[in-house]
Structure 1
Amino acid sequence: MHDIFSRPKFPNAADKANGPDKEKGVSVLKRLSQRRHLAWLATLPSWNQLFGDAWRDLLTMTLVGVVGLVFHFDNVVIGGNDLSFMIWNERNEFVAYEVGKPRLDNIIHIWLSALLAILVPSVFFVLAQIRVRSVYDLYVAFWMNLRAIVVGSLFQVMNKSLIGGLRPHFLAVCEPNPSVGPGDGAGYHGLYFTWEICQGAKRSWIKDAVKSWPSGHTTVAFAGFTTLSLYLNGKLKIFSDERAMVWKLFLFFAPLLGACLIGGAMILDHSHHWYDVFGGAVIGICSAFTGYRANYASIWDYRFNHIPLQRAKVRWNHRGDAAPSGHFVYSTAPESRFPDFAHGHEMKWAAGGAPGDAAEWNDVQRRPGQQGRWRRPTEAAAPSYTSPTVVPSSEVSHIPDSHDTLQATPV
């Protein structure tokens, strides 16, 4: 089976000796395949192959995106129409501190949050190809991130419109009717009101101020940056069966820190409450996890979580198999699927690297200065001790004091 991360080989001496005449009539992709650092580009799909793999996803994401944009730009409000809030208590004292903050400009606009969530992971996906060198891996990673963002955005915009909540600056844009006071509303002592008492000049601001939950900025940020963290873990094997180097841990948490800062900015500019940000983070993280697992062989299993999955019955066969089934086989055979750059000590990990169920790390016969190797479970290990001699029970009785000097090993 063709290795996903196999390294291209140098052309042999005979091919070099033939010179340019040998390459006459050879396609550009064929020539690329003969270049050590550019050979992975030879696996670029044709437009027919690419469209055959992506058109269903493009259609689905377009429809989902249109629905989300309609709800967002039309400022659809359903749940917010029925929200009740209390401004004063029965003694006419102001109590709505959580929704009485001033309205401020966004520190980070929604378009910037979405751009960062798409652009920053994409840059790292491209940089990873310096060593991964897989067109298919780059393709899967990009669309995986975009799908996670689109799915998370749909969830948050539907919740905003159908459920909603009062933003921290609600009263600042509402400007309640000054003639209304305790006892003029509904509920206990007539203390609860709806947004019908608002007299603010900008109705669009009022409608937006009742769509606080969840935070769209935070959803998009956590969807994109969590996807990036999972991708880095899969490629660098940060959480695996060996101690991780500190720089890898910082690299894993850096995208999550960026997402947290974006969510925190929404609290600072009085756009959201803390629970709005928390809800958006949960939606974004769930979108990222489901998106990653739908496109890669595993999330946390270090043996497989770097391998992009292939679809069944598609025209783009990126692995070069004669008859691809489209289904990944979770084999415990120690095939070299891990890129060397993932390990500081170049341990040459195998696909089945879990102790006890796949392959064992065998360094019994290792020479000085030489790395160990993975061996198959069926491969005999070098004996490190002398097997005991089993004495038949018929002979034990003829040995004097055998019960004191010799014990037969049961068979």
Structure 2
Amino acid sequence: MGSGDEILPMSNRHEGGGSERRKSTLRSKIVDFGKEFGLDWVTILIIGIIALMIDKYVPDVGGKARYFRLLPGESTSPQMEAFGHPYRKQIITFWVSAGLNVGIPALFISVLELCTRGSFIVFARGILGAINSVIMCCFVQILIKTLVGGYRPSWFEICKPQPDGPGVGFDGTWYKWTVCTGDQEKINWALESFPSGHVATSFAAGVFLSLYINAKLKVFSDYRVNPIIMVLFLTPLTLAVLMGGAISADMSHHSYDIVGGAILGIFIAFVTFRSFYVSIFDPRTNHIGLQSSRRFQHRPEIDYCEYRARDLRYFHLP
């Protein structure tokens, strides 16, 4: 018992006792963390590396299999309206987007756990879930880009087509990417329009974080929450929508790319959250983390009461 050490005379105490206990506690937390989440972190890391390798080395099968129509001297066709926009550098680059998708959930989860005095395991599960949602979404959207793809709005400016003969089709005006004379790296990028990876991963991170905030602060529950908590809940969703706005403003994607990316991100966020927690919207259990070693034994009344007494009181909620 810790209290037994406090009543001993100062001369009989071991000077390094407190330090040793702290080291032992730290080692115990590290061991528990490794047992609980070690395999998950390794798996996520491998999936992330595979996704980057696919994006870098696998040819754009879907984009390179497509045809576009080239009508010399005609600049008002529907296809020119869709693919003839000027090329602009992205407002938010890939690495900035990745940093925001990981950094913002990490910041929110850290602050929430500090305010509610949550345990290290609870914090680690939240961070792991958020990163898992982003990386799984990244993996899926890269596969779709590679196998489906499509032309970006600035396709013609990036491609700079110079056909050396008639094309294919009924009127011989349809061509593939092989007639392009532009920069090859930009051409590869311009063949990967669908879906928007920026929007997909932003919604995966934002929706997961909003579900986490709901589970932590019980936004959807049997009482009225403070408006500040509602703002916290809506902030990640707003940031995800703003990401879609930035992608639309710099004409990196079509509207259907953005909508498709949002749907994909939302779906993966829900799937990921449910794979880490007992429920999604049930306020009695959606804060309880699942374990890989044993099944969850449902105790709704006890779990909900214990959670309200332990966590919600730090926010002075009714």
Q: Which residue of 1 aligns with 2:41?
A: 58
Q: Which residue of 2 aligns with 1:18?
A: 8
**Residue 214 of structure 1: SS of its match in structure 2?**
coil
1:82 corresponds to which of 65, 69, 80:
65
Closer/same/farther in 2, CA of residues 44 and 291 from structure 1, 3 Å limit? farther
Q: Which residue of 2 aligns with 1:248?
A: 229
Closer/same/farther in 2, CA of residues 54 and 93 from structure 1, 3 Å limit? closer
1:113 and 2:97 are equivalent in the alignment: yes
| Highest RCO, 1 vs 2 (Cα 8 Å, sep ≥ 6) | 2
**Residue 248 of structure 2: SS of its match in structure 1?**
helix
1:274 and 2:242 are equivalent in the alignment: no
Give 1:82's aligned amino acid.
A
Closer/same/farther in 2, CA of residues 55 and 137 from structure 1, 3 Å limit? closer
1:332 corresponds to which of 278, 286, 300:
300
Correspondence 1:144-223 to 2 at 5 A: 144-177=129-162, 184-200=166-182, 202-223=183-204
- Percent identity over the alignment is 30
**Residue 279 of structure 2: SS of its match in structure 1?**
coil
**Residue 230 of structure 2: SS of its match in structure 1?**
helix
Q: TM-score, normalised by structure 2?
A: 0.87
Question: Is there any run of 5+ residues in structure 1 with no aligned partner, and where?
Answer: 1-10, 33-40, 313-325, 348-411
CA contact (8 A) 1:75 1:207 kept: no
CA contact (8 A) 2:47 2:135 kept: yes
**Residue 8 of structure 2: SS of its match in structure 1?**
helix
Cα deviation, 1:144-195, whole Å, max 9, x if unaligned, reads 1111111100001111111101001110111122776xxx332343332221
Q: Which residue of 2 aligns with 1:342?
A: 312
Q: Which residue of 2 aligns with 1:352?
A: none
How far has the Cα of 1:212 moved from its partner? 0.4
**Residue 328 of structure 1: SS of its match in structure 2?**
coil
The 1-side partners of 2:156 and 2:258 are apart by 20
CA contact (8 A) 1:99 1:167 kept: yes
Q: Which has the larger radius of gyration?
A: 1
The 1-side partners of 2:88 and 2:250 are apart by 6
CA contact (8 A) 1:23 1:31 kept: no
**Residue 161 of structure 1: SS of its match in structure 2?**
helix
How far has the Cα of 1:46 moved from its partner? 4.5
Question: Is there any run of 5+ residues in structure 2 with no aligned partner, and where?
Answer: none
Correspondence 1:24-39 to 2 at 5 A: 26=17, 28=19, 30=21
Q: Which residue of 2 aligns with 1:320?
A: none
1:303 corresponds to which of 264, 280, 284:
284
Q: Which has the higher helix share?
A: 2
Q: Which residue of 2 aligns with 1:135?
A: 120
Aligned residues: 310
CA contact (8 A) 1:148 1:288 kept: yes
Give 1:136's aligned amino acid.
I
Calculate the aligned-residue CA RMSD, in Å: 2.7
Q: TM-score, normalised by structure 1?
A: 0.69
